Structure 1
Amino acid sequence: MQLDALKYFLYVVEDRSISKAAKKAHISQSALSQMIHKLEEDLGYELLNRSNRGVTLTPMGEIVIKYANNIIKNFDKMMVDLSNHQKQQSKITVTGTWSLVAYSLPCMIYNVKKRFPEVEFDLVAKNLDEILSDIKNDLSDLGFIDVYMEEEDNLMYYNMGKEKVVLIAKSDYKIPDKITLSELVDVELIMCTINKKTCENIDISLKPLHKKLDNLNIMFKADSLTAVKSSILNGFGVAFVPYESIKYELYEEAIKLIEVEGLNLDYDIYMVSKKTKELSEVVRASREYLIEEGRKSFC
């Protein structure tokens, strides 16, 4: 089976048109049609329903598309690894949750790069399922997540410390420096949805009050820490954010911390990788360095 045909099949499905896909692939429409037919012959199944309105996937096509992306990504990574080996170079891909990549992991990458200057590091933000899937499929070497998973599928987990979560407001915002959980219910809150762990922990903490997250006075929700911080600096309310993300604003005294009695939203950070025997020498060395350094490697 030709890998190019599989790539072009993805183009066709994405554009729902063989003609549009042919333009994207810079080949003739007839040549692309022949390649797709050859792909169907090789697999032994019809993958596309063709009509004047374009193309749609058959049930067999749905199965192929589910695996095609990983097949191509693995092939591309194999070619990179081959090239790196030939050049005596190494590359490590690190994936992490959006909030960790935004603030905590860059310092870690900087520190490990200092230790292994010959290694090229790529840092990518993804959701939990994507991180674990990429590790399992060798599309990523090390992952950083905020949920402990049972050790399965040949993966190993290492506790790297805690992410501190704090409640912040603009420095002149009219709110006491210390409030109760009951008082939190009435405060105007900007909710950052980038970290589901914080949302889950708030829900748990509100149970004794017979309240849930949605019972809070949430002005709006945002999936961007930058948008949340901007709203706070404009005096729009208060927000729960990772401590690492507001160090500069605290130093500049642009914002202040608010203590909520009895509320602790800190959560653990875990590094995940495949088992040692399946790792390259450079990934294994980088992982061991990070385990040894632990929390010191973060910002």
Structure 2
Amino acid sequence: MHLESLKYFREVASEKSISKVAKKSHISQSALSQLIQKLEEDFGYKLLNRSNKGVELTEMGEIVLKYSNNIIRNYETMVEELETTVKQYNKVRINGTWALVTYSLPCVIYKIKKKYPNHQYELIASTKEDTITDVQNDICDFGVVNGNISKEHDLFTYAIGKEKIVLIAPGKYNIPDKIKLEDLTKYDMIMCNSNNHISNNLKKELKNIDKDLDDLNIIFNVATDGAVKLAVSNGYGLAFVPYESIKHELYEKTVKVIEIEDVSLDDEIYLISKKFNKLTKAQRESIEYFMEIGQKSFC
């Protein structure tokens, strides 16, 4: 199997057309068809159903596509590591949740860079699940995530501190500064799809009062904390967000924090990586200094 053929297969699966990919890649349609056919022969299965309307993945094709992304990413990461080694500098790749990458981690990475100026750092926003997978597959070198990490992942974990989660309302919203959890059912709510840890913790608290997320008036879900803040600032409802993400809005008084009586959605923040004996010197140095300066260096 040639990696180039796998890349072409992935593009064809995305475009649902051999001719479109051939034209975009500046190769003949017959040459591309032969590459895909050779890939099918290598696997021993038909991967595409061809018709006048284009192509569709077979069941076996779906399986190949599922694994091709990781294969290609691992290959590209391997090539990148080889190239960086030749260039004699050390690149450290870090994953974190969107809120941490946007609001908290840049200051930490800045301080680590100052201590180790010869290291190169790359900071990427990712989900907790993808970060765990990326650490295991050497796509990233370490991650910063919310919530406990199962021992079955066999990773090094270090508790950095807590992420403070707050309920926010529009700055001029008519709502008491302190409410009970059951009072949430009286207000419109906005939820963030990327903050599963907040939703999970909220579910646990609601369960204590025999309620569920379905009992809340969730008017819509959005993709990022930025979209949540904009929606709240525009007066569309209440939302739970990391405190670090709303410092500017609090200063501008476009939002305000509402306390919930006897409820905390704060979540542990963990640094995760492979075991230290599997890390490079640059990775170990960066992680150890991160652990030393900790949450006090967050922005």
Q: Same fold by TM-score, threshold 0.5 exceeded?
A: yes
Determine the C-alpha separation between the residues in 2 that align with 1:41 and 1:190: 50
Determine the C-alpha separation between the residues in 2 that align with 1:59 and 1:235: 47
Matched with 2:36 is: 36
* Structure 1 unaligned regions, length at least 5: none
Classify the secondary structure of the residue corresponding to 2:186: coil
Does residue 18 of the first structure (1) align with residue 18 of the second (2)? yes
Q: Which amino acid aligns with 2:97?
A: T
Matched with 1:195 is: 195
Classify the secondary structure of the residue corresponding to 1:88: coil
Q: Which moved more, 1:56-65 or 1:279-288?
A: 56-65
Q: Which moved more, 1:177-186 or 1:25-34?
A: 177-186
Matched with 1:81 is: 81
Q: Which amino acid aligns with 2:77?
A: K
Deviation of the 1:233 alpha carbon: 2.4
Matched with 1:165 is: 165
Give aligned pairs, total.
Answer: 299
Deviation of the 1:28 alpha carbon: 1.0
Identity of aligned residues (%): 52
Deviation of the 1:139 alpha carbon: 1.0
Q: 1:235-279, CA deviations, whole angstroms, 9 ceiling, x for partnerless residues?
A: 333322111011122233443322111011100111111111211
What is the TM-score when the length of structure 2 is the normalising length?
A: 0.91
Deviation of the 1:169 alpha carbon: 2.4
Matched with 1:126 is: 126
Distance 1:243 1:30, change over 3 A: same
Matched with 2:243 is: 243
Q: Which moved more, 1:204-213 or 1:284-293?
A: 204-213
Q: Which moved more, 1:288-297 or 1:245-254?
A: 245-254
Classify the secondary structure of the residue corresponding to 2:69: helix
Q: Which amino acid aligns with 1:292?
A: E
Matched with 1:287 is: 287
Distance 1:57 1:170, change over 3 A: closer
Determine the C-alpha separation between the residues in 1 that align with 2:288 and 2:2: 39
Q: 1:82-127, CA deviations, whole angstroms, 9 ceiling, x for partnerless residues?
A: 1111111121221122332232222222222222222222222222
Q: Which moved more, 1:220-229 or 1:129-138?
A: 220-229
Matched with 2:216 is: 216
Determine the C-alpha separation between the residues in 2 that align with 1:104 and 1:282: 22
Determine the C-alpha separation between the residues in 2 that align with 1:170 and 1:58: 50
Distance 1:217 1:48, change over 3 A: closer
Distance 1:112 1:208, change over 3 A: same
Q: Which moved more, 1:137-146 or 1:61-70?
A: 61-70
RMSD: 2.1
Determine the C-alpha separation between the residues in 1 that align with 2:15 and 2:281: 41
Deviation of the 1:66 alpha carbon: 2.3
Classify the secondary structure of the residue corresponding to 1:185: helix
Q: Which amino acid aligns with 1:42?
A: D
In the alignment, is the contact (CA less than 8 A) between 2:98 and 2:224 conserved in 1? no
After the TM superposition, which residues 178-189 of structure 1 pair with which residues of structure 2 at under 5 Å, given as runs? 178-189=178-189
Classify the secondary structure of the residue corresponding to 1:45: coil
Q: Which amino acid aligns with 1:210?
A: D
Q: Which amino acid aligns with 1:294?
A: G
Matched with 2:111 is: 111
Q: Which amino acid aligns with 2:110?
A: Y
Classify the secondary structure of the residue corresponding to 1:209: coil
Matched with 2:49 is: 49
Deviation of the 1:153 alpha carbon: 4.1
Q: 1:26-85, CA deviations, whole angstroms, 9 ceiling, x for partnerless residues?
A: 211121122222223333433333333322333433332222221211111111111111
